[in-house]
């Protein structure tokens, strides 16, 4: 532990060598966050099975302090979108994302969550969850093996390591806005696109006339 946290740039007087450890706040902050990521129990499809395998005894996420899968978004830091995102499911995913407290991270696990996957052409499939919520790490594969998933989690840890307590958005005074929840209408509707829909419709009627 101390090795990770020691900051080599700060000189320590020789007589104190070995008795004190000096680190930066950022390092301590990031180290404690990345070593206890609580993922949410959030299995969508086939990839979820590999996620469970990664959490079980053979690959053992506990080695990274990530074994505590929380059932509620309000206690979790990481949403592993593990599987095909369907249109019917998107409103729920966005709602769950909004319910997660900051700092929160999203990982797109598998081809489906990243970009639609083999079912991309389907009428009920969304081509990638990043169309609706921001994604931090993408793990390709169909399904990614547990080791590939863990590699992705390590990448996420690296990302966390690079953040600085001074600039992270969640300590800013401006509130972070919730993402509007998509509506299940005649097809999936993203409320953020209201004006664009109206414009398209106008163009369509014009083209007809």
- Within 74-133, which residues bind ligand SF4 (CB under 6 A)? 83-84, 110-112, 117-118
Should residue 81 be labelled a site residue for another protein when binding is judged by CB under 8 A?
Answer: no
Q: What is the rounded CA–CA span in Å between residue 80 and residue 192?
A: 24
Helix, strand or coil, per DSSP, at residue 79: strand
| Window 186 to 205, contacts with ligand SF4 (CB under 6 A) | none
Should residue 47 be labelled a site residue for ligand SF4 when binding is judged by CB under 6 A?
Answer: yes
CA distance to 124, 185, 196, per residue, from 200 (Å) = 22, 17, 6
Q: What is the DSSP letter of 149?
A: H
Point out which span in 2-10, 28-36, 59-67, 165-173 binds another protein (CB under 8 A).
59-67
CA triplet 152, 156, 39: central angle to 5 degrees? 85
CB nearer another protein, residue 123 or residue 170: 123
CB nearer another protein, residue 16 or residue 192: 192
Q: CB of 197 within 8 A of CB of 204?
A: no
**Tally of helices (H runs) and strands (E runs) in the chain:** 7, 5
Provide φ and ψ at 137, rounded to 5°. Answer: -135, 135
Binding-residue pattern over the window 1 to 40 for another protein, x denoting contact by CB under 8 A? ----------------------------------------
CB nearer another protein, residue 102 or residue 158: 158
Should residue 77 be labelled a site residue for another protein when binding is judged by CB under 8 A?
Answer: no
Is it true that the peptide bond before 201 is cis, omega within 30 degrees of 0? no
Which of 77, 144, 157, 160 binds another protein (CB under 8 A)? It is 144
User: Which residues of the shown chain bind ligand SF4 in the complex (CB under 6 A)?
Assistant: 45-47, 83-84, 110-112, 117-118, 142-143
């Amino acid at each position: 532990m101390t090795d990770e946290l020691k900051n080599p740039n700060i000189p320590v007087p020789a007589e104190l060598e070995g008795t004190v450890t000096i680190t930066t706040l950022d390092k301590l902050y990031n180290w404690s966050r990345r070593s206890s990521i609580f993922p949410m129990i959030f299995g969508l499809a086939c990839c979820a099975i590999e996620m469970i395998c990664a959490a079980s005894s053979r690959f053992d996420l506990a080695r990274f302090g990530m074994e505590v899968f929380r059932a509620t978004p309000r206690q979790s830091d990481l949403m592993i979108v593990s599987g095909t995102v369907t249109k019917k499911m998107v409103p729920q995913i966005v709602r769950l994302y909004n319910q997660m407290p900051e700092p929160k991270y999203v990982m797109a696990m598998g081809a489906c969550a990243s970009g639609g996957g083999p079912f991309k052409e389907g009428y009920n499939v969304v081509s990638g969850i990043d169309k609706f919520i921001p994604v931090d790490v993408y793990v390709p594969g169909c399904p990614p093996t547990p080791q590939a998933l863990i590699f992705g989690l390590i990448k996420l840890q690296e990302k966390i390591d690079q953040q600085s307590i001074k600039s992270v958005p969640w300590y800013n005074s401006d509130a972070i806005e919730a993402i509007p929840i998509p509506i299940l209408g005649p097809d999936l509707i993203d409320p953020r696109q209201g004006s664009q829909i109206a414009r398209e419709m106008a163009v369509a009627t014009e083209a007809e006339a």
